[in-house]
Structure 1
Amino acid sequence: MEGNNRVNIKRGTHLLIVQKQDQRTEKLTEGIVKDILTNSPTHPHGIKVRLECGIVGRVKRIIP
């Protein structure tokens, strides 16, 4: 599932994000959502979230 729509993402969702410094390499980081930082319902590059470990990035893929 894509991470461009805010309705697909809730606190506690398991997903893959890309951090700002990894955008060129597309290196993904796995984690669980603590906070949703993007207020708009959609974002073309992915909804920005904070993981439980404190890492911030844009959602690339939601893990079912």
Structure 2
Amino acid sequence: MNGHKRSDIKIGALVDVVLKKDQPTGKLTRGHVKRILTNSPSHPHGIKVMLEEENMVGRVQKIVEE
């Protein structure tokens, strides 16, 4: 499942995100969702979330586990 719909993403879900600094390379970082930062119901580049791990912020590319 991709991370383009806000309703698909739950707090605590394991996701792969692309961090702002990694956007040129597309490198993914895996972590658990701490907060959902995007307010709109969908976003073409992925819903922006904050991860529990070091409060990193990125856009969800893939939901690994809910």
For the aligned pair, the TM-score class normalised by the smaller chain equals over 0.9
Alignment: residue pair count: 64
The aligned residue for residue 61 of structure 2 is: 60
Alpha-carbon distance between aligned partners in 1 of 2:61 and 2:10, rounded to the nearest angstrom:
14
Map of 1:7-26 to 2, 5 A cutoff? 7-26=7-26
Partner-residue secondary structure (3-state), 1:10: coil
Ranges in structure 2 where 5+ consecutive residues have no aligned partner: none
Alpha-carbon distance between aligned partners in 2 of 1:19 and 1:63, rounded to the nearest angstrom:
17
Higher helix share: 2
The aligned residue for residue 28 of structure 1 is: 28
Q: How far off is 1:44 after superposition?
A: 0.4
RMSD, matched Cα: 0.5
Partner-residue secondary structure (3-state), 1:21: helix
Q: How far off is 1:15 after superposition?
A: 0.5
Alpha-carbon distance between aligned partners in 2 of 1:51 and 1:42, rounded to the nearest angstrom:
19
Q: Which portions of structure 1, spanning 4 or more consecutive aligned residues, are displaced by more than 4 angstroms?
A: none
TM-score by length of 2: 0.94
